[in-house]
Amino acid sequence: MQRLWIALLLCGLTSGLGAATVTTFGPASWGVSDATLGFTGSYETEDFEDLALANRLLFSITADNGAYGPSNTLNQLFNPATGDPNGANWSFTTWDGTRSLLNRLDQIPVGYYGPPGFSGYGSVTFTFTGGASKVGFAFSNNEVAATVLVNGVSLGSLTQGNIAGGSGRNGYFVISADATTPSINTVTISSNVIDAIFYDHLLYQLLPMTNPPTGGEVPEPGTWALLGTSLGVVWFKRRR
């Protein structure tokens, strides 16, 4: 009976953590090349330096004081050097450029705890339209347990493998599609409302679109012919 129970427990653990493959890089790897992170060939980069998001990427955030997205633009930009009203400099949270992304609707790190509905830190979701085969992101200042979910299925803690929690740089988290999860459609970091987490250098390899969106309406050849005929008639009548 005990063996059966243990067997069931192991099955549960396996299925719960069986979605996609995780590779982790600790803070000592901060700023290494994309190739070192496993991104070569064709892939997309989102550096969070402007409001526009890269190809087929949507952002959403759910906090205790509101929600935003999914959208292909950010609602606010974060300035790590000057954006903290308490004067803290968060520039160490950038992997590229001068900006990172904060898990708050207003992108203002208040730097202290508050009651529910006040703290405002939230869970973020990155959506990859048409799916991705690999996704990676840098993060910092994760101090309270957070969970990573792919397509809504938990991959376990945000701090695992070579990555430990703490107030500094935490590391780089890579998720690769595998037999259990052939397409990464959403990556959610479900975190505590009192914990600021800073993200940067989101890399992703897109899967080919199986149903590419149809572009602008292009008239069929027959329509052109009809249009030409109508114009021709008008022109002929005006001539007379």
Piece of the chain touching Ca ion by CB under 5 A; list 7-15, 59-67, 141-149, 227-235? 141-149
Q: Are 132 and 103 within 8 A, CB to CB?
A: no
Q: How far is the CB of 80 from Ca ion (least distance, A)?
A: 9
Q: Is 50 in the site for Ca ion (CB under 5 A)?
A: yes
Q: Is 143 in the site for Ca ion (CB under 5 A)?
A: yes
In the set 195, 205, 206, 207, which binds Ca ion (CB under 5 A)?
A: 195
Binding letters toward Ca ion, positions 199-238, x by CB under 5 A: -x--------------------------------------
CB nearer Ca ion, residue 144 or residue 149: 144
Size of the site for Ca ion (CB under 5 A): 13
Q: Are 148 and 187 within 8 A, CB to CB?
A: yes
In the set 23, 79, 96, 160, which binds Ca ion (CB under 5 A)?
A: 96
CB nearer Ca ion, residue 50 or residue 178: 50
Q: How far is the CB of 46 from Ca ion (least distance, A)?
A: 5
Q: Is 97 in the site for Ca ion (CB under 5 A)?
A: yes
Q: Are 208 and 132 within 8 A, CB to CB?
A: no
Cα 9 to its chain centre, rounded Å, is 32
CB nearer Ca ion, residue 106 or residue 143: 143
CB nearer Ca ion, residue 24 or residue 78: 78
Q: How far is the CB of 97 from Ca ion (least distance, A)?
A: 4
Q: Are 186 and 131 within 8 A, CB to CB?
A: no
CB nearer Ca ion, residue 52 or residue 234: 52
CB nearer Ca ion, residue 107 or residue 181: 107
The closest of 3, 34, 239 to 136, measured between CA atoms, is 34
Q: How far is the CB of 54 from Ca ion (least distance, A)?
A: 6
Q: Is 47 in the site for Ca ion (CB under 5 A)?
A: yes
Separation in Å, CA 202 to CA 18, 33, 46, 55, 73: 23, 13, 5, 12, 14
Long-range contacts made by residues 82-85, C-beta under 8 angstroms, separation at least 24? 83/107, 83/108, 83/109, 84/108, 84/109, 84/111, 85/110
Q: Say how many residues make up the chain.
A: 240
In the set 196, 202, 206, 207, which binds Ca ion (CB under 5 A)?
A: 196
**DSSP string across 91-134:** GGG-SSSS--EESBTT-----S---TTTS-BEEEEEEEEEEEEE
CB nearer Ca ion, residue 141 or residue 181: 141
Contacts of 61 (CB under 8 A, 6+ apart): 67, 68, 69, 103, 104, 105, 122, 123, 124, 125
Contact set with Ca ion (CB under 5 A)? 47-48, 50, 52, 94, 96-97, 99, 141, 143, 195-196, 200
